[in-house]
């Protein structure tokens, strides 16, 4: 299953806006990529189908995903997401039915900035393994954590724990991976953690 032709890259969520939830899961896009690979890499594609033991199948009919906005500007994407949310709300009787929870994304980014993305990466595996871990246990495993004041230690721990228990850890790791001013070793760790989710 971990074959180069069995995966493709899409922009991270903060750099793409469209009226859907997860671009990489859109059947329309999967069909387009598959059709391209069938033509461009015909021999390799057939070999992959044999290896994966995929039986021949008819094309899957899908609904179109709608317009897709790509940008390197996170602020432009937030504006586009708000625009989609307004259009979505206008077409539905449900109040507050957002396609995107832009407030949650922005809050998560602010939380990571306040506790420190590096601190989150260091705490992540400890909290993931033991959600009820104490500050003393953290200081025993990460001696550099002692440099923070007791209040700061507690804030970092409780904020990191909250992100993980609310299942926002994948989004938090994606934000860290996309950060420009962060140590590359921390980004590598974030990629490993994200691959394990």
Q: What pLDDT digit, counting tens, does each position of 2-32 carry? A: 778 888 888 877 777 777 767 787 888 888 8
Maximum Cα interatomic distance, the chain, rounded to a whole number of Å: 62
Residue 27, pLDDT score: 82
Instruction: Confirm if 120 and 174 have CB atoms less than 8 A apart.
Output: no
Q: Per-domain residue ranges for the chain?
A: 1-72, 102-196
Burial label for 17, CB within 10 Å (0-12, 13-18, 19+), is buried
Q: What is the mean pLDDT of the chain?
A: 81
Q: What pLDDT digit, counting tens, does each position of 49-75 carry? A: 888 887 776 666 666 666 777 776 766
Give the confidence band of 192 by pLDDT, cuts at 50, 70, 90: very high
pTM confidence score: 0.51
Q: What pLDDT digit, counting tens, does each position of 126-181 carry? A: 999 999 999 999 999 999 999 989 999 999 999 999 999 988 888 889 888 888 77
């Amino acid at each position: 299953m971990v074959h180069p032709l069995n995966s493709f890259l899409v922009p991270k969520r903060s750099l793409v806006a469209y009226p859907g939830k997860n671009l990489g899961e859109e059947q329309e896009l999967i069909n387009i990529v598959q059709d391209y690979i069938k033509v461009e890499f015909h021999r390799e594609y057939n070999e992959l189908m044999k290896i994966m033991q995929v039986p021949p199948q008819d094309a899957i009919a899908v609904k179109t995903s709608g317009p897709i906005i790509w940008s390197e500007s996170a602020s432009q994407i937030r504006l586009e997401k708000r625009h989609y949310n307004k259009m979505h709300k206008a077409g539905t009787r449900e109040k507050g039915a957002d396609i995107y929870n832009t407030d949650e994304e922005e809050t998560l980014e602010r939380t990571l900035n306040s506790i420190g993305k590096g601190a989150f990466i260091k705490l992540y595996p400890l909290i993931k393994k033991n959600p009820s871990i104490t500050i003393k246990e953290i200081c025993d495993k990460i001696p550099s954590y002692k440099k923070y004041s007791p209040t700061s230690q507690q804030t970092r721990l409780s904020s990191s724990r909250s992100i993980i228990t609310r299942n926002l850890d994948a989004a938090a790791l994606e934000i860290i991976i996309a950060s420009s001013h962060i140590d590359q070793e921390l980004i590598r760790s974030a990629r490993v953690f994200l691959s394990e989710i």
